[in-house]
Amino acid sequence: MLHWPNRPTAETTSAGFSLPVPDDGYAWWYIDALSDDGQEGLTIIAFVGSVFSPYYRFARRRGPIDPLNHCALNVALYRAGGNRWTMTERGRRKVARNAQSLVIGPSDLSWDGNALSINIDEVTAPIPGRIRGRVRVIPRAVTQQAFTLNADGNHRWWPIAPSARVEVELASPDLRWQGDGYFDMNAGDVPLEQGFTVWEWSRAALRDGTAILYEAKRRDGGRLDLAIKFDRHGEMESFDAPALQRLPRTPWRVDRSARSEAGARVVRTLEDSPFYARSVIATTLLGEHATLMHESLSLDRFKMPVVQAMLPFRMPRRG
């Protein structure tokens, strides 16, 4: 475990928006939430050095590249009436950041000391539409624990607010709801695919906190296995991960599995792509029935030329 940053500073209280990101590196801030009635869901990811960008990957062939020239705000809404997705990449002239805020094109994230506010004004892809409005993430506690994910220490993860309330107020689509959510940050000094081949990550809201499972196969042949719980005050403890349950592959044949004490099942597949899947999974952890927000990622698939050729249809670039 690495305390990164290693003490309370303006950086930690601002979610690290101005932490340095080296050439060819990346940082992303991730939010997810499920509504209290279980009918709505969202994920928001703000990228500096968009790790899944075909443009960033191609540009690196010519030499070291400034990650600020490849930034994006990914917003995904999951609804019974139809999902919406946006991930438009912006160049450095449309990006600004300081300790309290990150601006990417017409959207921005800001921290006021108590909550993260996200103002969204984005066009969906591949079918043009609009996502416009505001999301607020109100942490129950902000943690100081951060983790190195590989031996070289060049991939890192900070679960900023494992437990949070999320308020959604959108004008387009007309949508208002609240629910339990989660907020973290990943950062790296080299491309993500250089460090890992596959990984699975999941989090579950429990009665008195949040359980997080983080498992990955490193490119050097090693493994990452984390099973941790944060209480509502942000205090962390490890726990013994239960047995791994194999789950049905997605239609794109992405492997999925989840830890469970008494069986697991896929409730809903939220995202299904040739290299990535996001799912809602019912499981049992620490003696509780729990709902996982779960992701599976194959970075070997991501590198395939045919997959790279498909990505611009869902990830347009402006500037």
Check residue 196 and give its pLDDT.
Answer: 97
Residue 144 Cα distances to 11, 83, 179, 239, 267, angstroms:
11, 34, 24, 19, 33
* Residues 88, 184 within the same domain: yes
* Residues 266, 181 within the same domain: no
Cα four-point dihedral sign 89, 191, 31, 29: negative
The token duo for 114 is: 């108590």
Chain segment 115-148, per-residue pLDDT in tens: 999 999 999 999 999 999 999 999 999 998 899 9
* Residues 146, 275 within the same domain: no
Residue at a domain's end among 190, 216, 232:
190
DSSP letter for each residue of 187-212: EESS-HHHHEEEEEEEEEEETTEEEE
- Look up the domain containing 108 and give its range: 7-190
Q: How many structural domains does the chain have?
A: 2
β-strands 41-48, 71-78: how paired? Answer: antiparallel
Residue 312 Cα distances to 91, 191, 272, 316, 318, angstroms:
15, 19, 16, 5, 11
* Residues 223, 264 within the same domain: yes
Chain segment 69-109, per-residue pLDDT in tens: 999 999 999 998 889 999 999 999 999 999 999 999 999 99
Whether 214 is covered by a domain: the verdict is yes
Average pLDDT, the chain: 93
* Residues 99, 184 within the same domain: yes
* Residues 131, 248 within the same domain: no
Residue at a domain's end among 169, 190, 211:
190
* Residues 176, 280 within the same domain: no
Check residue 6 and give its pLDDT.
Answer: 41
Check residue 15 and give its pLDDT.
Answer: 84
Residue at a domain's end among 172, 190, 208:
190
* Residues 206, 168 within the same domain: no
* Residues 47, 79 within the same domain: yes
* Residues 222, 253 within the same domain: yes
Half-sphere exposure of 167 (CA within 13 A, CB side): 9
Check residue 13 and give its pLDDT.
Answer: 57
Query: Which residue ranges of the chain lie beneath pLDDT 50?
Result: 1-12
